[in-house]
Amino acid sequence: MKKLLAAVLLCVSAFSLKANVDGYFMLSVFSPGQLPVPMTHLYGGRVSFLYGECQELFGIDLGCVGRVRERMYGIHAGVAQVVGTDAAGLQVGLLELDESDFDGLQIGLWNDVSGTTRGLQIGLVNKTSTLAGCQIGLVNVCLNHRCPVLPFFNVRW
């Protein structure tokens, strides 16, 4: 009976977080099976068991696969992370995809930034359009440079 009451109280408190509002914590099994809904702007943290999605994230994201539709500032750690616009902070995982600019440290097997990378990328394959920092990996790609592919080490300022 106590476990059932605790579960009901947890669900009621989680449903009190509404769509398109700020949230402080997100728990996700698979989006849309998450609380609060994906349109939430998070200021705190998220735990994703399989896949989690939110509008913005300012804080810590832990889990298997995480997607942030807009900005991410903080720590993104898991198997794969995707950020829609600007990201800043630390990203650690197997696959890191940023669809715009990234400022900070990326550590993964495959790091891919569509815009400008300001900081450090460490991985087997590192790719960016413009680099203002350093890439360390087996293959380092900087598309907006006269020598776009370098092995092991790439530095641009």
**Higher model confidence: residue 44 or residue 136?**
136
Whole-number Å distance between alpha carbons of 130 and 147? 12
**DSSP codes of every residue in 114-152:** EEEEEEEEESSEEEEEEEEEEEEEEEEEETTSSS-EEEE
Highest mean pLDDT (candidates 10-14, 28-32, 92-96): 92-96
**Higher model confidence: residue 9 or residue 46?**
46
Structure tokens at 156: 């641009």
Whether residue 105 has pLDDT greater than 80:
yes
Q: Is 138 within 8 Å of 124 (Cβ atoms)? A: yes
Phi and psi (nearest 5°) for 114?
-75, -25
**Peptide bond preceding 38 in cis form (omega within 30 of 0):** no
The residue with tokens 């092991």 is 152
Whether residue 99 has pLDDT greater than 70:
yes
Confidence category of residue 3, pLDDT binned at 50, 70, 90: low
Whole-number Å distance between alpha carbons of 38 and 29? 12
Rounded to the nearest integer, the mean pLDDT of the chain is 83
Confidence category of residue 51, pLDDT binned at 50, 70, 90: confident
Confidence category of residue 25, pLDDT binned at 50, 70, 90: confident
Residue 2 has a pLDDT of 56
**Global pTM?**
0.79
Residue 17 has a pLDDT of 44
Whether residue 8 has pLDDT greater than 60:
no
